[in-house]
Amino acid sequence: MPYTYQFPHPSVTADVVIFAMHENDLKVLLVQRKNPPFKNHWAIPGGFVEIDEDLEAGARRELEEETGVKDVFLEQLYTFGEPKRDPRERIITVAYYSLVNLADHPVRAGSDALNACWFPVRQPPKLAFDHKKVLNMAIERLKGKALYAPIVFELLPKKFKLSQLQEVFEIILDRKLDKRNFRKKILGTGMLTEAPGMDKSAQRRPAKLYRFDRKKFNKLNREGIGFEFRPDSPRKRRTTEPS
């Protein structure tokens, strides 16, 4: 016979903020809710954690059920527990975030979602629950962590141009970076390796291709040398604030 507690207990959900680069902008994956509350509203993918389920396992299951996305890097973001954040009952949510290469993760709406789409992170639709707060916190975490962990490479193809990498940094940090300083500093990390071939898509001369060298990264990490990228302090890239 299961134990019955004298006092009421909160339910637990897990939500996942998924970032990807698409059409030269940073996008977030959202689902359109099929059921109340907030029916038809857009929300961060997630749902209730089952009674015998690990938190991260619940986050991965809900993500796959609602969007079809699976096998992604997840990192815990924050726990949101305001008493009235969900009109149904007292619900605490543990939020995670992830960065993916869009080409590797096709999206489809699951059984309990009307739709699943990518939206610009700084111009999302009106979000259900407190998901605006969750998204804004994930953006700030991403901006901070991009400077001391090689997470931005999750957003890029395996081989990329330095100009592509600079653009990703500029979009995440919301500022314009000096080209010469950027290249000097990013190559100075010692964690990039020239990749075979050249990019010939531009009208100008072909550009070198690079890849993030995880073996070099792991070796330097063992020697106590972590990834660190400190950009200069140029002008702001955009005027739009996270909404």
Domain layout of the chain by residue ranges: 11-145, 158-222
In percent, how much of the chain has pLDDT > 90? 73
pLDDT of residue 135: 98
pLDDT of residue 231: 77
Instruction: Please give the CATH topology (third level) of the domain spanning 158-222.
Output: Arc Repressor Mutant, subunit A (1.10.10)
Assigned token pair, 77:
């973001």
Question: Which residues are within 8 A (CB) of 55 and not within 5 positions of it... i.e. 6 or more apart?
Answer: 12, 14, 49, 76, 94
What CA–CA distance (Å, rounded) separates 48 from 144?
A: 29
State yes or no: pLDDT of 238 exceeds 50.
Answer: no
When pLDDT is cut at 50, 70 and 90, the band that residue 239 belongs to is very low
pLDDT of residue 243: 41
Indicate the residue type of 40.
N
When pLDDT is cut at 50, 70 and 90, the band that residue 1 belongs to is low
Query: Tell me: the pLDDT tens digits for 83-131?
Result: 999 999 999 999 999 999 988 888 988 877 899 999 999 999 999 999 9
pLDDT of residue 206: 82
Parallel, antiparallel, or unpaired: how do β-strands 207-212 and 75-80 relate? unpaired
Mean pLDDT over 64-75 rounds to: 93
Reference 77, options 21, 118, 136; nearest CA is: 136
In percent, how much of the chain has pLDDT > 70? 92
pLDDT of residue 203: 58
pLDDT of residue 202: 61
User: Domain 11-145 - what CATH class?
Assistant: alpha beta
Backbone angles phi, psi at 56, to 5 degrees: -65, -35
State yes or no: pLDDT of 151 exceeds 50.
Answer: yes
Does 194 or 5 have the greater pLDDT score?
Answer: 194
Report the DSSP beta bridge partners of residue 97. 17, 75
Does 225 or 14 have the greater pLDDT score?
Answer: 14
pLDDT of residue 233: 52
Mean pLDDT over 146-172 rounds to: 94
pLDDT of residue 147: 92
What CA–CA distance (Å, rounded) separates 215 from 222?
A: 11
Mean pLDDT over 163-172 rounds to: 95
pLDDT of residue 237: 45
